């Protein structure tokens, strides 16, 4: 795995990539072919012809070793996103998930994912962070100016669901920068200024998150978006996991699906404010999510967790304690909003017997967890961190 660039170099972008993600690659005929399949993915899924298309590809057709050797990280992130969409589209192209991924896709996907330091499964980084572009390159990121590069079925609801998260990541950028810088601060005025920046970012994140229902309908999300982003760990439909043809000695592998818990924003702020998650399977899950983040993101989280002294300062400074509490209150609101959407977009949809099996597991989230219990616990532990 190539070491990531020092995170300070693009800290002003938060957890979004330093350069806007590539939409496609015309490196050679094979990369162009991969990009073309991804572009046509909605049509191939609609017509039921994706599986036949993938199964016709020779097993060693894609080989991106030269890009890996040349450390072409930007291109490899683009390829990883496209391979992830193709793989998940193939696996979930029919009512019953496929349990074996052909070597033509498993081979390049495993190698590129290893280079990027993440498991070969659709993760938040490939689904969101590396999967957007600006409609007008001269204008900033906003809900009016962001579109997706890759889709499963496509449509307003699918685009809106992801672009909401892209814009949340953009809104969080000042908070990420301040969280990085505040750990070396000892001056109370400067600490308070950083906390104000974090609070302002969190307010903006909550405002954006509040707009989810404007263009993403719960019914469409549950039946057309959610089924494709499941993984194969704790997935009742793939109890043994997925076989990557030609790898892992033919043994099924279990990786969790794409989930907002793989975003690094809230884990970073948890680390900064020393939010305590009780030692149990739920905390183990949060720690496991770090493995699905880009290495530089989890390294930053670990660094902030180790060096943050905000809790100590809050014990001796009432202004710092008050401002920290206001930040924690915004984090609690963010997690409460997540619970509301989980209820509206998943739980309420699953209660209709007519639709019981069409949106994937009704008791587990796309990351393979009992989501309502997890989300409530994370919110409550955030709230409990507020100091009197």
Q: How far apart, in Å, are the Cα atoms of 15 and each of 64, 114, 133?
A: 26, 20, 15
Residue 301 in domain: yes
Provide the residue range defining the domain that includes 197.
Answer: 7-384
**Per-residue pLDDT, 5:** 40
Q: Which pLDDT band holds residue 282 (cuts at 50, 70, 90)? A: low
352 Cβ contact partners less than 8 Å away, ≥ 6 residues apart? none
Per-residue b/e over 62-93, b at no fewer than 16 CB within 10 Å? bebeebbeeebbbbbbbbbbbbbbbbbbbbbb
Which residue is associated with the tokens 């298309």?
53
Establish if 1 belongs to a structural domain.
no
Residue 3 pLDDT exceeds 50: no
User: What is the rounded distance in angstroms from the CA atom of residue 40 to the CA atom of residue 86?
Assistant: 10
CA separation (Å) from 166 to 15, 229, 324, 381?
10, 17, 25, 26
In the prediction, which pLDDT does 372 show? 60
Read off the pLDDT of residues 87-146 as tens digits, 9 standing for 90 and up. 999 999 999 999 999 999 999 999 999 999 999 999 999 999 999 999 999 999 999 999
Residue 2 lies in a domain: no
User: pLDDT tens, 198-208?
Assistant: 999 999 999 99
Residue 48 φ/ψ region, left for φ over 0, alpha for ψ in the -120 to 50 degree band, beta for the rest: left
CATH number at residue 36: 1.20.58.480
- Structural domains of the chain, count: 1
């Amino acid at each position: 795995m190539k070491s990531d660039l020092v995170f300070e170099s693009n800290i002003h972008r938060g957890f979004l990539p330093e350069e806007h993600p590539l939409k496609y690659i015309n490196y050679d005929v094979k990369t162009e072919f991969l990009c073309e399949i991804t572009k046509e993915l909605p049509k191939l899924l609609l017509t039921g012809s994706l599986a036949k298309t993938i199964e016709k590809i020779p097993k060693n057709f894609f080989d991106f070793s030269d890009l890996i050797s040349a450390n072409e990280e930007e291109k490899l992130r683009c390829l990883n996103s496209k391979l992830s969409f193709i793989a998940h589209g193939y696996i979930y192209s029919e009512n019953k998930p496929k349990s074996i991924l052909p070597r033509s896709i498993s081979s390049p996907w495993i190698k590129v994912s290893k280079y990027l330091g993440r498991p070969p499964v659709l993760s938040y980084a490939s689904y969101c962070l590396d999967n957007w572009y600006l409609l007008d390159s001269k204008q900033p990121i906003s809900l009016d100016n962001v579109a997706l590069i890759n889709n499963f079925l496509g449509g307003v609801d699918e685009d809106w669901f992801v672009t909401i998260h892209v814009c949340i990541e953009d809104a969080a950028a000042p908070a990420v920068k301040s969280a990085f810088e505040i750990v070396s601060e000892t001056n109370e005025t400067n600490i308070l200024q950083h906390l104000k920046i974090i609070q302002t970012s969190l307010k903006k994140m909550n405002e954006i998150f509040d707009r989810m229902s404007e263009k993403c309908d719960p019914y469409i999300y549950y039946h057309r978006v959610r089924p494709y982003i499941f993984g194969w760990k704790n997935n009742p439909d793939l109890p043994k996991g997925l076989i990557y043809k030609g790898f892992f000695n033919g043994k099924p592998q279990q990786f969790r699906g794409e989930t907002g818990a793989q975003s690094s924003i809230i884990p970073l702020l948890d680390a900064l404010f020393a939010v305590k998650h009780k030692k149990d399977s739920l905390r183990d899950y949060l720690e496991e999510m770090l493995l699905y983040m880009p290495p530089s993101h989890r390294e930053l989280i670990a660094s902030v967790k180790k060096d943050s002294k905000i809790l100590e300062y809050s014990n001796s400074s009432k202004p710092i304690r008050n401002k920290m509490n206001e930040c924690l209150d915004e984090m609690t609101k963010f997690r409460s909003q997540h619970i509301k959407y989980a209820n509206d977009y998943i739980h309420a949809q699953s209660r209709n017997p007519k639709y019981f099996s069409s949106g994937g597991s009704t008791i587990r989230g796309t990351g393979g967890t009992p989501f309502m219990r997890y989300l409530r616990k994370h919110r409550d532990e955030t709230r409990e961190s507020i100091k009197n």
